[in-house]
């Protein structure tokens, strides 16, 4: 919802006024796509800060007695990343809450349009991972079934596409 607030500009408000307050989905598509892309980029950054599984695997691979200092360094790194993550999330939640509240208080006549845009962005954000993960799955199926043509590059490409 907060990303949608950023893309309500004077021009979009004026277009809503010219449409007599009616919701024009076609007109809002670029705004919905932009908010979804920026939200996914922000989610990728937050996932980098919050996912600690690779550090746990590093600890499991270390020998027990010889590398105790290395384990503590890895644990300190995990702790630092998680502290930064929670501080950043707390600041973002407060800022977004305030931003959406102020927007809805100032622009009372656009609240329904704002909620429709937010719902459309939410639905696109839910459907997008299915599409993103369907592509590498299709590449893998094609590369594994076509062993005569040796489509190894499709299999390698399928490993690159999903980031998380």
Q: For 3-51, write each residue's pLDDT tens digit.
A: 888 887 777 777 777 878 777 788 888 888 888 888 888 888 888 888 8
Q: Look up residue 3 and give its two tokens.
A: 């990303």
Question: How many Å apart are CA 31 and CA 24, to the nearest integer?
Answer: 12
pLDDT at site 83: 92
Of the candidates 162, 163, 144, which has an alpha carbon nearest to the alpha carbon of residue 154? 144
Of the candidates 129, 158, 160, which has an alpha carbon nearest to the alpha carbon of residue 144? 158
Q: pLDDT class for 66, splitting at 50, 70, 90?
A: low
Question: How many Å apart are CA 115 and CA 129, to the nearest integer?
Answer: 22
Mean predicted confidence (pLDDT) in 75-95: 91
Contact between 1 and 100 (Cβ < 8 Å): yes
* pLDDT at position 151 over 90: no
pLDDT at site 63: 67
Identify the three-state secondary structure at position 9.
coil
* pLDDT at position 144 over 70: yes
């Amino acid at each position: 919802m907060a990303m949608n607030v950023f893309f309500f500009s004077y021009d979009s408000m004026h277009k809503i006024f010219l449409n007599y307050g009616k919701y024009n989905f076609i007109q809002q598509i670029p705004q919905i796509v932009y908010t979804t892309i920026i939200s996914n980029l922000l989610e990728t950054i937050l996932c980098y800060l919050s996912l600690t599984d690779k550090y746990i695997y590093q600890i499991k691979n270390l020998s027990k007695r010889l590398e105790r200092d290395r384990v503590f360094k890895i644990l300190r790194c995990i702790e630092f990343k998680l502290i930064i993550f929670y501080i950043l999330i707390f600041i973002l939640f407060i800022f977004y809450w305030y931003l959406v509240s102020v927007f809805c208080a100032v622009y009372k006549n656009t609240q329904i349009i704002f909620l429709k845009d937010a719902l459309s962005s939410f639905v696109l954000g839910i459907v997008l991972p299915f599409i993103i993960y369907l592509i590498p799955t299709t590449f893998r199926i094609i590369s594994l079934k076509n062993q005569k043509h040796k489509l190894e590059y499709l299999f390698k490409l399928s490993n690159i596409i999903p980031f998380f």
